[in-house]
């Protein structure tokens, strides 16, 4: 079964850091580009970051550029999101998403990040 | 990028059809053939329902269909069922390997 399982969310104060992980299984992880997408409470989906299959190229939303870093370990079938200088507006459920030819095809169950003032 | 524009809510009775629109620009919806639609039940992750104009993942009923004209994509759900009540989001490739999503539409089955 194709599966993505996020972890690492929690409560952190403004200015703090958090690292999210996403464990992939059921498919050849190293073949796929991967993304992070977030959803603030009661609001819509927002694209956050993208990483190529070999980890050589990244893209970021303007709102997180310079603060968040997406990376992966293909040997461990794991995607990461390092989040620094967190702000209250970063509070959201963070989803790990597999990219199938520009389509967000497979989603994890999400992990909640809460940034307190 | 700005979010794609969707109606905040739509509703229909069981058995009826509803259509949800998704309006973008020539830099996203109108510029690429990579529009997809997602169903999200409360507290759950989004689920891919349809993409690339009428391609459905295994298990998604053919009651779900989509179309695109210019900068606007549309999702049509026919033969509405109670379990279709959920939030629906459109998504488009927006160039430079980024995605843009719609603001979401709440579907109520009356």
The residues with which B24 forms a beta bridge, in sequence order, are none
User: Which A residues, 51 through 90, put their C-beta within 8 Å of a C-beta on chain B?
Assistant: 57, 59, 61
The residues with which A3 forms a beta bridge, in sequence order, are A25
Flag if A103 and B51 touch (Cβ within 8 Å): yes
What was the pLDDT predicted at B12? 97
Listed residue (A7, A19, A58) closest to A35, CA to CA: A58
**Tens digit of each residue's pLDDT (9 = 90 or more) over B21-55:** 999 999 999 999 999 999 999 999 999 999 987 79
What was the pLDDT predicted at A68? 98
What was the pLDDT predicted at B52? 82
Mean pLDDT, consecutive 10-residue segments, chain A of 117 residues? Answer: 97 98 98 98 97 96 97 98 98 97 96 97
Mutate to test the interface with A, among B42, B92, B94, B99 (most CBs of A within 10 A): B99
User: A46: how many CB neighbours lie within 10 A of its CB?
Assistant: 18
Residue A37 C-alpha, separation from nearest chain B C-alpha, in angstroms: 9
What was the pLDDT predicted at B54? 77
Q: What is the DSSP letter of B3?
A: P
What was the pLDDT predicted at B2? 81
**Tens digit of each residue's pLDDT (9 = 90 or more) over A11-21:** 999 999 999 99
The residues of B whose Cβ lies within 8 A of any Cβ of A are 3, 32, 34, 36, 38, 44-48, 51-52, 57, 89, 91, 93, 96-104
Q: Mean pLDDT across chain A, nearest whole number?
A: 97
Q: Is B83 exposed, middle or buried (0-12, 13-18, 19+ CB in 10 A)?
A: exposed
**Tens digit of each residue's pLDDT (9 = 90 or more) over B49-108:** 999 877 999 999 999 999 999 999 999 999 999 999 999 999 999 998 999 999 999 999
A5-to-A8, A100, B40 alpha-carbon distances in Å: 10, 18, 17
Tell me: pLDDT of B1 over 80.
Answer: no
Flag if A44 and B103 touch (Cβ within 8 Å): yes
């Amino acid at each position: 079964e194709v599966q993505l399982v996020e972890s690492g969310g929690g409560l952190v104060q403004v200015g703090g850091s958090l690292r999210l992980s996403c464990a992939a299984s059921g498919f050849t992880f190293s073949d796929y580009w991967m993304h992070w997408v977030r959803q603030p409470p009661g609001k819509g989906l927002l694209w956050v970051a993208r990483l190529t299959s070999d980890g050589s190229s990244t893209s970021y939303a303007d709102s997180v550029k310079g603060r968040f870093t997406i990376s992966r370990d293909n040997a461990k079938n794991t995607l990461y999101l390092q989040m620094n200088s967190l702000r209250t507006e970063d509070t959201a459920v963070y989803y790990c998403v597999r990219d199938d030819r520009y389509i967000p095809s497979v989603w994890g169950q999400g992990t909640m990040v809460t940034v307190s003032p | 990028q700005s979010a794609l524009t969707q109606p905040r809510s739509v509703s229909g009775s069981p058995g009826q059809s509803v259509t949800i629109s998704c309006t973008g620009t020539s830099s996203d919806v109108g510029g690429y053939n990579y529009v997809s639609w997602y169903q999200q039940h409360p507290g759950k992750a989004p689920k891919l329902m349809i993409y690339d104009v009428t391609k459905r993942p295994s298990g998604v009923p053919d009651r779900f269909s989509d179309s695109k004209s210019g900068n606007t994509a549309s999702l049509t759900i026919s033969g509405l069922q109670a379990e279709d009540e959920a939030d629906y989001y459109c998504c488009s490739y927006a160039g430079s390997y980024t995605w843009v999503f719609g603001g979401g539409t709440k579907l109520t089955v009356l």
